Structure 1
Amino acid sequence: MTIIINSGYQKRTQKDYSLSLKHQIVFEIEQGELSTTGALKKYGIQSRSTIVGWLRKYGKFDWENQTPSHMPKTPEQKILELEAKVKLLEKQNAFLATQNTRADKKAIIFDMMIDIAEKEYNIEIRKNSSPEQLNNTKKPTKKA
């Protein structure tokens, strides 16, 4: 005679957990209603690392600075964050400046190419319109 004890443990895969269940578990843990081990038992989750991964992905805890986002940050942490932002913005600014100079150089080269083509082939590529012609091309406005 064999006795089978039902421990409530059921092998699951990541696909078994819906997004709403993950958010619910993270919410309960962050509100202090459950611990990670309590969530393991309550929801039949295999591993604590699964819940920790959800906390990192969906939770409000700031894992970079190791402080909850609702807690005020120290002045040192604020300074470090601002310094990191400044470095990032300086890099972006330098990149955009190089892109701008490249674009300017390209425009100059294209203008030179047009000038050469106009001289070589004796054709006008650029159209020099007089102000009167610009006024004539505008659509007439209807008067009510």
Structure 2
Amino acid sequence: MEETNNYVKRTQKDYSLQFKIQLVKEVESGTLGLSEARKKYGIQGDSTVRKWLQKYGNFDWDNQMSTNMPKSPEQKVLELEAKVKLLEKQKAQLERQNYIADEKAIIFDMMIDIAEKEFKIDIRKNASSEQLKRTQAKGKKA
């Protein structure tokens, strides 16, 4: 029986810039080590991740210290696109929560209306005309 080798030779051009930057962030944040990153993403070359760290990372390899290097326009665009996607997700989630809250408020109002009719009692607090006049007078003084 013959074993087939599924080895596919890749180059750095096979990986998108966004992928490289994301991997560099994971390694620099300490989430992954070099070998862990290679195994997780199926990167074959030993030096590939190191080259990406040198090219896209915040570590100054010449002076052996961490710096905040200016980002390329491509990096800035990718980061802003990621932020926009995140904000759109958060907006959609908040809109869903708002819709659910509005629906609950309508249902609770209906329940109160039914309870008031069934039991012939006032559940909602109705302000008397004297209370309204005092409240309005206080509002004008302030």
TM-score, scaled to structure 1: 0.48
In our comparison, the structure showing a higher alpha carbon Rg is 1
Quick check: which one's helix share is greater?
2
TM-score, scaled to structure 2: 0.49
